[in-house]
Amino acid sequence: MDSDNQYTDVEFGGHHVKVITNGFYDRFRSNPDLDEVAKDPLAGDIDFFRRFPKVQVESRVGPIWAPNFYYRASTVQLLYLAPLSQIRRFLPEPLQALSPLPGKGLVALTFFDYALCDNDPYGEVSIAVVIRCPGARGSHLLELQQAMASDRYHAHVLALPVDTDIARVRGVYGYNLPKWLTPIKLQIDKDVQASISNADGTPDLTLQAPLLHMQQVPSQSHIGTSVLINRVDGVWRQSTTFSNKLNLGHETLPKNVNLERHGGPLTQMLNGLGADRLMRFDVIKDTQIVLNMPVPLAETTAAGW
């Protein structure tokens, strides 16, 4: 926790966690007045969020306000090619890895920094497998091309550590996601630096790369969609995330991205997946994100797997 902040105990789904005193969660409990949010200098233009009225929905931890809003965020993603034979050891049936090349699938390592959001600032790291849309048939390559054209991808998350307890509790008990508490850093300035450590402070992954050529784009002109599919209490569900990308850059087959693997749990997972060939590097310096609660997959879709 940041020693410069004071903290207040709150209850979420029967769990007691500490949140920043007078922070967004303490003030709004995930149901903010957007006009009040707009007064924060860090928020910027928040018209994107007005498209998604909050509603109180039932969840596995009781009533919760959704979707969750991330008003100012940054992400860095490394997309790796990996052997399907190794990916299958981590991917539960009936999920299928999207395979752009014979015998190969895609694994994404993503660092997140949420500077302003409904449940206060925090960092997060994801390891996910890019999967086929449930019920999809036909060409994997065509499906990938369509996903790239629409900026809409399906994924199954294997690991999602965070660095605040409110983020851990919400993710584990609200979404049934594989979250744990550990130190995380992401800084995008003249270069890109990111790291995740083990609970004892020793390094797991460290990333350093030059900053890409970045493009500032109009709000709501580059909206991406991620559909996260996982099993919640024995039922297959999907959580849809919308990203309003504002400042972004990418490079295919990058040569100056240095990810050091120091032997922690994420290192072991990447190695177990065989994620060694870096295909693409994406830097989003400024984005806004809307995260929806999990909903059951359509029975007809799930039955067709």
Convert the pLDDT of each residue in 258-270 to its tens digit: 999 999 999 999 9
Average pLDDT of the chain to the nearest whole number:
94
The stretch 36-45 carries a mean pLDDT of 95
Rounded CA-CA distance 159/268 in Å is: 11
pLDDT greater than 60 at residue 305: no
| 233 or 227: which leads in pLDDT | 227
Rounded CA-CA distance 256/241 in Å is: 30
Residue among 114, 115, 116 nearest 24 (CA): 116
Rounded CA-CA distance 88/220 in Å is: 36
Whether residue 262 contacts residue 205, with contact meaning beta carbons closer than 8 Å, is answered with yes
Rounded CA-CA distance 86/2 in Å is: 39
pLDDT band at 300 (very low <50, low <70, confident <90, very high): very low
**What's residue 299's pLDDT?**
45
Whether residue 194 contacts residue 207, with contact meaning beta carbons closer than 8 Å, is answered with yes
| C-alpha triplet 244, 239, 185: angle, nearest 5° | 60
The phi, psi pair for 217, rounded to 5°, reads: -125, 155
pLDDT band at 304 (very low <50, low <70, confident <90, very high): very low
pLDDT greater than 60 at residue 171: yes
Alpha helix segments (H runs only) across the chain: 24-28, 34-37, 84-87, 140-150, 165-169, 175, 265-273, 299-303
Q: State pLDDT tens for residues 228-280.
A: 999 988 889 999 999 999 999 999 999 899 999 999 999 999 999 999 999 99
CA distances for 151 relative to 141, 196, 221, 295, angstroms:
15, 27, 12, 21
3-state secondary structure 248-278: EEEEECCCCCEEEECCCHHHHHHHHHCCCEE
pLDDT band at 2 (very low <50, low <70, confident <90, very high): low
Pull the structure tokens for residue 20. Answer: 């920043």
pLDDT greater than 50 at residue 281: yes
Among residues of the chain, what percentage have pLDDT more than 90?
86
Q: State pLDDT tens for residues 103-153.
A: 999 999 999 999 999 999 999 999 999 999 998 999 999 999 999 999 999
Whether residue 204 contacts residue 262, with contact meaning beta carbons closer than 8 Å, is answered with yes
Domains of the chain are 71-303 (2.40.400.10)
171 burial (CB, 10 Å; 0-12 / 13-18 / 19+) is buried
- pTM to 2 decimals? 0.95
